[in-house]
Amino acid sequence: MIPVQGYDGRKVAVLGLGRSGLATARALQAGGAEPVLWDDSPEARARAEAEGFACTDLGRDAAWQGVVLLVTSPGIPHLYPAPNRHIARAMALGVPVDNDIGLFFRSWAVADWQDFDLVPKVVAVTGSNGKSTTTALIHHILQVIGRPTQMAGNIGRGVLDLDPATDGEVVVLELSSYQTDLARALTPDVAVFTNLSPDHLGRHGGMGGYFAAKRRLFAEGGPDRAVIGVDEPEGVYLANQMAEGPADDRVIRISAGQKLEGEGWTVFARKGFLAEWRKGKQVAAIDLRAIQGLPGAHNHQNACAAYAACRSLGLPPRLIEQALTSFAGLPHRSQTIASRGGVRFVNDSKATNVDSAAKALQAFPRIRWIAGGLGKEGGIGGLVPFLGSVTKAYLIGHSARDFALEIGTTPHEICETMEAAVTRAATEAEPGDTVLLAPAAASFDQYPDFEKRGEHFAALVAALPDHAG
């Protein structure tokens, strides 16, 4: 646990008692603060009370007496589409609003660090797609090399649940736009921006607000190194904003698909090969094609981001390459779960939007595509250019029939359920095919989250008869 500093003996309200909210309450208490807890859900309040915390209704004016800070969970809106009523009340009273990420950056460093030989560092990763894989990949590389490391944020543990730093440790954080948008302190040593595509637009008031939330990690944080994907205009702009000149190697530009030119520090992947250039000269190259845990151009971009972050920490290319080869991938993200009769089964349940599904569809030849669920605004018409490798689509869930109308002449079958889709795809698959779950939709029509959807897919594949495929 990271005890929160700066609030000893003072009242701090905590809104939202999920994983991050309860971790925040514990960390505040450990730092000597008096946490005032509330969640509109009776079940959440019961969990907090089971830990010995008292809950106080923030809807009552008396609850705000003496409160000096409100810490809110990331899922609770503070501006768009409308502020939560408790957050609006805090702002009206002049009570600062923060989140656990802000408290972490204010509390991570302690006096004991003066006795360390190597000061601990924080690598923070944000972006639309690939940030979980990039975060896990950096963490994996550090583990393999033997550097002390912890991983937290939007993946794994809550940030205030981390253990206090050890000598030379590197904490790797995945940060969503919900987390970067509100944090009052953002001071990573290395900040990573993977890419940008439309998502969470209602929460951020449009694309500009969404990008602004990501940009705060760099503009507010002032990292020593900035690793920035430049395959979209926003990334090009951000890299330009951060650099003092063409040769400023505090900025490492990365790409999946284009050779990056100039005198600066760049890492890019083309045709399956990662290349690092500095001062106009190539200094390293890695063949990514045989790494099963990193299939496709989108994962090669993740590899570039992780490689660049680790290089900025002083790690040598050869050791990074060795660690990359042992990366198995993350569950539900282009994860190969089985190979049966020459047929590969890939679980990319995390591909919940058009952009992430498009990347998955470009990663494999001869795809039998399982898609559908609770469709998002705009549909999946944007995927039509990427359906050339799809032998047949097996459509499930609430949006199955809508998806069928949008995929043009691509052969398809409306299966409704995951069970039917897996059975049909496995029965019809031939050696060399990939049965790919890349839904391009949310899971909430049939599953509580994308993890449960992916787990169901994996369980059905595991239960297939030996002759399937």
Task: Give the residue numbers of the binding site.
Answer: 127-133
Between CA 305 and CA 136 the distance in angstroms is: 11
CA distances from 173 to 20, 31, 154, 462, 465 (A): 14, 22, 7, 33, 41
Q: Which of 258, 259, 265 is nearest to 242 (CA)?
A: 265
Which residue's structure tokens are 């079958």?
A: 413
| CB-based contacts of 52, cutoff 8 Å, min separation 6 | none
Q: How far apart are the first and last CA of the chain?
A: 48
In degrees and rounded to multiples of 5, residue 415 shows phi and psi of: -105, -20
Burial label for 244, CB within 10 Å (0-12, 13-18, 19+), is exposed
**Helix (H, G, I), strand (E, B), or coil: what is residue 199?**
coil
Please say whether the beta carbons of 290 and 124 come within 8 A. no
DSSP state of 176: -
| CB-based contacts of 409, cutoff 8 Å, min separation 6 | none
Q: Are strands 190-193 and 225-229 parallel, antiparallel or unpaired?
A: parallel
Strands (E), 158-310: 170-174, 190-193, 225-229, 251-256, 265-270, 273-278, 281-287
DSSP result, 418-434 = HHHHHHHHHHH--TT-E
Burial label for 93, CB within 10 Å (0-12, 13-18, 19+), is exposed
CA distances from 380 to 111, 139, 222, 354, 394 (A): 53, 33, 38, 6, 14
Could you tell me which residues are annotated as the binding site for ATP? 127-133
Please say whether the beta carbons of 166 and 120 come within 8 A. yes
Strands (E), 234-366: 251-256, 265-270, 273-278, 281-287, 335-340, 343-347
